[in-house]
Chain A
C-alpha cells in the first residue's frame, strides 16, 4: 500500500508539472505581447521594452516558466498585466466559493443517488424501480445550467421563494448565504445525482447477483440486512470511481452555474479574465482547476485501493 501511495504520488507530481508546462506553453508563448497590449498601438518602442522588462517577458521562456511555477508552489500567481493586482489573493478568495458550490452539489447528488439507485436495483422488476431508471436517463440529458434556469423559473419567478441569483458571504448573513446557494446546489446536484443513480443501481445489481449475498440470505439475514452488511461496501468500489470523475465534472459545471446565478467563484473570475484579456489571470485559474482535477483523480485512485483489498 505504501509503495503504491508513493508511486501514485510521484505520478501526481509529475502530471502537475507537465500540465503546468502545457498551460504555460499554451498561454504565455502565444501571439500577443502583454506589454504591447497594455500600452496600446501608439507606444514608443522604448516604453514597450521598459514594460516588457518590468513584466519579465523579455527573459527566455524557460526562465519565465521556472519563475511562474516557482511562484505557484509558494502560492504566488504573479501580478496581472492588466489590472496590476496580485492574482493569488483573487484566486484564493474565489476558490472557497467554488469549493462550497461543488461540495454542496456533490452532497445533493449523493443524498439523491444512493437511496434512489439502491431502491431501483432492489426493485428493478417493479414499475417504480423502472420509473427511477427512466427519470435518471432524462436527468442526464439536462445540462446543469439548464437545470439552473428551470429552477430559477420555478422557485424565483413562479413561487418567488428563493433569489434568482447573487451571493451573500456567510459572514454577512448565514441565512441569505444558504438561500442563495440552494438553487445552485440543486442545479449541480440534480443532474449529477441522475448520473450517479444509474451507477449506484448497476453496482448494487451486480452485488445482488454475488454468491456471498445469497449465502448471507441463506444464513437468515433479510434482503435489506444482507445488502447493508455485505453489499454496500462492495457496491461502493465502482461508485467511488464515478464519484471522483463527477467531482471533476462538477467543478467544470460550477463554472457555468456561477454564470447563471451570478456567483463570484473561480468560473466567474476565469470568464472575466478572458473578457478582459488578462492572460496571466486565465493561466492561473486554469492551472488551479487542472491541478484540482489531477488531485481528485489521485484521491479516487487511492480510495479505490483502500476499498478493494484485491488491488493491494
Chain B
C-alpha cells in the first residue's frame, strides 16, 4: 500500500492548513477591521472589497471569519493541551499499575468526570464566574481529560507486555524512567491521533458554547457567535449563517480526517486491516 496516497491525511491536512493559515495571516492582515461597526455598511452585499459581505452591524464577514479561525484554534490548543497534560500521565500511571488502588481511583474519578460534559461544566463555570473564552477553554479541557486518560491507559497496557519493557525492568530501571524513556515514545502516535480527534470535538464544543453565549465574548469574533447573530436574519440574509457554518464544518472535518489519516499513516497494522476492509 506504500504507493497509494493517503487521501484522508491529504484532505485533512489541507483543511487544517487553511484554518491555520487564515488564523496566522489575521494577526497582521485582514481585509477590514473585523470589529469595526459601521451603520453605512449594514448587511452590505458581497463584492467591492467585501468578499462575503457585511453583517447587521456592518462588520466584514470575511475578516470576522479569519479572526474567528484564530479564536477556534486558540480554544482548541489550550483545551486539548489541558486534556493531554493532565490525562496522559494519569492514563500512563493507571496503565502501568493496572491492579493497584491508584489505578482504580484514577479510572473511577475519570468515569465521574466523564459524566460532566463540556457544556455543563462551561455553564456551571459561566454561572459562577461569568462566561468567557477562559471558562470555555477550561471546561472543554477538563471534559476531554477522561478521553485522553482512557486512550493513554489502553495504549500503555499494550506496551507494558512487550519485550523491551520486560528487558528494561529486568535491567533494574525504575518505573518513572520506564514511563518516560519507553512508554511515552511508544504511545506517542496514539496520543497524536487522539489530539487531532479531540481538537475536532473541541471546535464543536466551542462553537456550541459561543452560540449559547457561554464562549468567546463580543467583540472578539467567533464562528459560533456569528451563527447565533445570524439566526434572526435567516429569512432575509441566510449567507450570514452559511459562512460561519461552513467554516465550523470544514474545520471539524479537517481535524477528523487528519486524525484518521494519521492513524493509518502511523500504524501500518491498521492500514492493512483498512485496506482489505
A residues with CB within 8 A of B? 15, 18-19, 22-23, 26-27, 30-32, 124, 137-138, 140-143, 145-146, 149-150, 152-153, 157, 164, 202, 205, 209, 248-249, 252, 255-256, 259-260, 270-271, 273-274, 277, 279, 282, 286, 289-290, 293-294, 297
Contact = CB atoms under 8 A, between A and B. Distances in A.
B126 interface: yes
Contacts of A146: 207, 227, 245, 248-249
Interface string B124-161: 10111000000000000000000000000000000000
29 contacts: A15-B111, A15-B112, A27-B127, A32-B128, A124-B277, A137-B256, A138-B253, A140-B253, A140-B256, A141-B252, A142-B245, A142-B248, A142-B252, A145-B208, A146-B207, A146-B245, A150-B245, A152-B234, A157-B234, A157-B235, A202-B277, A249-B117, A271-B123, A273-B127, A277-B127, A279-B128, A282-B123, A286-B124, A297-B115
A205 B257 CA distance: 20
Contacts of A31: 128
Nearest to B208: A256
Interface centre among A143, A286, A293 (most CB of B within 10 A): A143
A142 B249 contact: yes
B120 A286 contact: yes
Interface of B: 108, 111-112, 114-117, 119-120, 123-124, 126-128, 200, 204, 207-208, 211-212, 227, 230-231, 234-235, 238, 241, 245, 248-250, 252-253, 256-257, 277
B255 to A, nearest CB: 9
Nearest to B126: A274
Contacts, number: 111
A301 to B, nearest CB: 10
A208 to B, nearest CB: 9
Interface centre among B108, B200, B231, B256 (most CB of A within 10 A): B231
B67 to A, nearest CB: 20
Contact of A18 (B112, B114, B253): B112
Contacts of B117: 248-249, 252, 293
Contacts of A290: 115-116, 120
Contacts of B256: 137, 140-141
Contact of A286 (B123, B231, B238, B252): B123
B256 to A, nearest CB: 6
B123 A145 contact: no
A252 B116 CA distance: 10
Nearest to A293: B115
Given A141-B250, A153-B234, A274-B126, 9 more contacts: A27-B127, A137-B257, A146-B207, A249-B117, A255-B119, A256-B211, A286-B123, A286-B124, A297-B114
Nearest to A146: B245
A209 B276 CA distance: 10
Contact of A149 (B127, B227, B250): B227
A124 B273 CA distance: 13
A33 to B, nearest CB: 13
A149 B120 contact: no
A31 B128 CA distance: 8
Contacts of B241: 149, 153
A141 B127 contact: no
B208 A143 contact: yes
A137 B123 CA distance: 29
B124 A145 contact: no
B115 A15 contact: yes
A135 B208 CA distance: 22
Interface centre among A149, A152, A277, A289 (most CB of B within 10 A): A149
Contacts of B204: 143
